Structure 1
Amino acid sequence: MEEMKNVVANENFDWSAFENDLGVYSQPKEEIAAAYDKTLSNVNVGEVVEGTVTGITKREVLVNIGYKSEGVISVAEFRYNPDLKVGDTIEAYVESAEDKNGQLALSHKKARQLKSWDRVNEALEKDEIIKGYIKCRTKGGMIVDVFGIEAFLPGSQIDVKPIRDYDIYV
């Protein structure tokens, strides 16, 4: 209460002009708000965006996607690409706008999986034959890598005649 006693109101201040935005801006307020909104990048959760690698630590890869802060991706998601360096452009899936530390949470692995599913669905629509890499065998068939996605291939679908030993295909 004592702090308020020291505040002196300026008698020359025009409160009605302030409240009605008269003379404050040289342009209409809507134009200024629209111009400001164009400078901001809107990031939606669940969206795949392109970004530039700005830093690499032992645990994290920092990615700039044009948002208010840089995104963080675990370095383990780039094991397939040991040549990753600062300045590379990558695709990232937006997991959340802010995690518990206030940083943008991204996933490169999920972005690659979504792109792979798009390629699989495209091949289905065009009735294409796709090639896969057999990773290992299971009790009833094989695990096949198709565009980076692991899929199950039943043993009955490998050949026309029954197969006794799946190991020859691995």
Structure 2
Amino acid sequence: MASSANPTRDDFAAMLEQTLGGADSFEGHVVWGTVTAIENDLAVIDVGLKSEGRVPLREFAAPGQKAELKVGDEVQVYVDRVENANGEAMLSRDRARREAAWDKLEAEFAKSARVEGVIFGRVKGGFTVDLNGAVAFLPGSQVDIRPVRDVTPLMDIPQPFQILKMDRKRGNIVVSRRAVLEETRAEQRSGLIQSLHEGQVIDGVVKNITDYGAFVDLGGIDGLL
């Protein structure tokens, strides 16, 4: 019989079943597992169930990079099913990342804090944003303060966003980049106004010309010439 200091796989499975209330209760949970083998493009992972599960290596890699995974690594995975038709556990690293991301995002949303994300795709009416595992919708009107013709330079780079609304049951998150820019601009304008004084000579950029003068951008605030 194995000692408590060196539990066997059966001991580990029994402890997990006691914690979660049985093998069926594994489903729908994020659990820790151990990588027992790497087979071509799949990672074989033991989470203490009767059978191991296989997860594509790409689920452990950042976009455009290779997965840095080796036998013996401990990873978190989501148990979709305890056993499929082949008798294997159905596991997902992507789903585990999404669940963890949602927990963190809900906390940030409650504080009205900014979150970091990456614009990675286009959809009808806007764009998709990866928030470290959770996918959000960025409406076209929320990309910038002014209309943007080409969003390509803004894609695939980490940048701050403000969560406008989120619904975990529906898997729906809406974010805004414009809100962040407006807040930053307001801070800059406040600082600029305090630094301006009569008779000061500063540089500006002509934004618009009308019959009665020209509007000049002084770095966050408009002046009429």
Q: TM-score range by the shorter chain?
A: 0.5 to 0.7
**Equivalent residue for 2:55?**
73
Shift of 1:107: 1.1
**C-alpha separation between the residues in 2 aligned to 1:98 and 1:134?**
36
Q: Please report the TM-score for the alignment, with normalisation by the length of structure 2.
A: 0.52
Instruction: Give the one of 84, 90, 109 matched to 2:94.
Output: 109
The answer for the alignment partner of 2:6 in structure 1 is none
**Greater CA radius of gyration, 1 or 2?**
1
Q: What is the RMSD computed on CA atoms of the aligned residues?
A: 2.5
Aligned partner of 1:63 in structure 2 is 45
Q: CA deviation at 1:110?
A: 0.8
Unaligned runs of 5+ residues in structure 1 are: 1-35
SS in 2 for 1:111: helix
**Contact 1:141/1:166, CA 8 A, preserved across alignment:** no
Q: How many residues align?
A: 135
Gapped regions of structure 2 (runs ≥ 5): 1-9, 18-22, 156-225
Does the 8 Å CA contact 1:137/1:166 hold for their aligned counterparts?
Answer: no
State the TM-score, normalizing by the size of structure 1: 0.67
Bigger fraction of residues in strand: 2
Q: Which amino acid counterpart does residue 118 of structure 1 have in structure 2?
A: D
Task: Spell out, residue by residue over 1:36-92, the C-alpha distance to the aligned partner (whole angstroms, 9 max, x if none).
Answer: 999713242111100110111014311121223322223342343521000111001
- Relative distance call for 1:137 and 1:101 in structure 2 (3 A) is closer
Tell me, yes or no, if the aligned pair for 2:121 and 2:128 is still in contact at 8 Å. Answer: yes
In the TM superposition, 1:1-170 aligns within 5 A as 40=14, 41-42=16-17, 43=23, 44-80=26-62, 82-138=67-123, 140-170=125-155
AA aligned to 1:90 is V
Q: Which has the higher contact order (CA 8 A, sep 6+)?
A: 1
Secondary structure in structure 1 of the residue aligned to 2:115: coil
Per mean C-alpha deviation after superposition, the further-off stretch among 83-92 and 160-169 is 160-169
- Mapped to 1, the partners of 2:41 and 2:75 lie a distance apart of 17
What displacement does 1:101 show? 1.4
Deviations 1:5-35 (CA, angstroms, capped at 9, x unpaired): xxxxxxxxxxxxxxxxxxxxxxxxxxxxxxx
